[in-house]
């Protein structure tokens, strides 16, 4: 099966260089590497063209965030006929066997009755080897005995959501359930997308597939976000009120955990005034508006929308 790696980048040329070098050093090299450059101004496009001439580079005319970038990259991969999509941030350095391990786990967890899992996520660590709390997949509550047995036989754990940091996704599921919501811009786009893909389907965490996420700091999403807290609040409101990814009981469960995490964010913040303003803006935007259809956002940056089974289920 053909695997397209999709990497989204913005003004992080050195980190991107390291990430793309790691892709080329895989024991199972991806069949295609798609780089979505979110209008970087640091020479990213020139570096990719010079150092990685075989990469499929698309430089967008404006920054559409990680959400728009992954939507554009996945759309490009689907148009190219990819069977599997390997999604990575530009500060992600996969170990040499990362893709091979994901593919092995996927194969071992494929059954005659259910087919393959909808997605397989790798283990994500920080630069010191600790599991990165920002990218730890949410375990699936109460998996069936069959799901637990199949996952265990593949050396994996059943999950309910995952991040865009070394994530292997079946292209068929995306065609059926839609692209990431491009208008999220950043934060919660991966949570919304993966819960949508996984509702009623199987997802796995593969501990044998390891990638280093080279964030500046070690921590989860409750690290002081400043003005960007706006996106966390707005997108969570959109997710809980509009996304088909969560069942009603799950909305209550995850809303409660979100409020607790927001409380920790405020408690640890060095400038609660900034957070409070961002939160109020996010609440207003989340309640008064809705994300634009992803095809509209992609057309604005010159990206064709791929053939899909469903009609924009993400919004």
Position with higher pLDDT, 174 vs 266: 174
Q: What are phi and psi of 308, to 5 degrees?
A: -125, 150
Q: Does residue 312 surpass a pLDDT of 60?
A: no
pLDDT in tens, 284-298: 999 999 999 999 999
Domain that residue 45 falls in: 3-219
* Residue 125 within a domain: yes
Q: 155 to each of 88, 107, 108, how far by Cα in Å? A: 22, 12, 9
Q: What is the DSSP letter of 111?
A: B
| Most confident option among 84-93, 132-141, 214-223 | 84-93
Which pLDDT score, from 0 to 100, does residue 264 have?
87
Is the residue at 287 inside a domain?
Answer: no
Residues above pLDDT 70, as percent of the chain: 97
- Residue 267 maps to a domain: no
**Per-residue pLDDT tens for 47-102?**
999 999 999 999 999 999 999 999 999 999 999 999 999 999 999 999 999 999 99
Would you give the DSSP letter of residue 206? Answer: E
What is the total count of domains within the chain?
Answer: 1
Q: Does a structural domain hold residue 119?
A: yes
Rg (CA), the chain: 18
Report pLDDT for 96: 98
Cα–Cα separations (whole angstroms), residue 181 to 19, 24, 70, 191, 273 = 25, 29, 9, 11, 29
User: What's the confidence (pLDDT) of residue 270?
Assistant: 82
221 pLDDT exceeds 70? no
Mean confidence (pLDDT) of the chain: 94
pLDDT digits (tens, 9 = 90+) for 222-256: 667 888 999 999 999 999 999 999 999 999 999 99
Task: Pick 257 or 72 by higher pLDDT.
Answer: 72
Residue 312 lies in a domain: no
Residue 272 lies inside a defined structural domain of this protein: no
Please indicate, yes or no, if residue 225 is contained in any of the structural domains.
no
At residue 306 the predicted structure's pLDDT band, cuts being 50, 70 and 90, is confident
Is the pLDDT confidence value at 310 over 70? no
Strands 84-89 and 3-9: parallel
Helices vs strands, H then E, count in the chain: 11, 10
Give me 78's structure tokens: 């689907």
Q: Is residue 229 part of a domain?
A: no
> Distance between CA 230 and CA 177 in Å, rounded?
27
CATH of residue 150's domain is: 3.90.550.60
Looking at residue 296, what is its pLDDT?
94
């Amino acid at each position: 099966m053909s695997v397209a790696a999709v990497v989204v980048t913005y003004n992080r040329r050195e980190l991107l260089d390291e990430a793309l070098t790691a892709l080329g050093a895989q024991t199972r090299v991806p069949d295609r590497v798609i780089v979505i450059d979110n209008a970087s101004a640091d020479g990213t496009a020139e570096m990719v063209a010079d150092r990685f001439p075989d990469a499929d580079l698309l430089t967008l005319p404006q920054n559409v965030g990680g959400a728009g970038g992954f939507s554009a990259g996945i759309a490009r991969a689907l148009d190219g006929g990819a069977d599997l999509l390997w999604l990575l941030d530009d500060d992600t350095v996969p170990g040499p066997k990362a893709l091979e391990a994901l593919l092995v786990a996927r194969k071992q967890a494929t059954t005659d009755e259910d087919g393959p899992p909808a997605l397989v996520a790798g283990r994500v660590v920080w630069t010191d080897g600790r599991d990165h709390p920002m990218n730890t997949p949410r375990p699936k509550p109460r998996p069936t005995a069959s799901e637990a047995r199949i996952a265990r036989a593949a050396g994996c754990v059943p999950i309910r959501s995952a991040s865009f940091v070394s994530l292997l996704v079946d292209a068929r599921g995306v065609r059926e359930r839609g692209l990431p919501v491009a208008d999220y811009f950043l934060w919660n786009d991966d949570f919304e997308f993966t819960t949508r893909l996984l509702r009623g389907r199987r997802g796995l965490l593969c501990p044998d597939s390891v990638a280093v996420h080279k964030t500046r700091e070690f921590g989860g999403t409750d690290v002081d976000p400043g003005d960007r807290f706006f996106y966390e609040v707005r997108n969570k409101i959109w997710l809980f009120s509009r996304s088909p990814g969560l069942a009603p009981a799950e909305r209550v469960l995850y809303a409660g955990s979100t409020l607790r995490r927001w409380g920790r964010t405020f408690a640890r913040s060095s400038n609660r005034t900034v957070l409070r303003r961002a939160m109020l803006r996010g609440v207003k935007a989340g309640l008064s508006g809705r994300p634009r259809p992803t095809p509209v956002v992609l057309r604005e940056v010159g990206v064709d929308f791929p053939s899909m089974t469903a009609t924009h289920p993400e919004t």
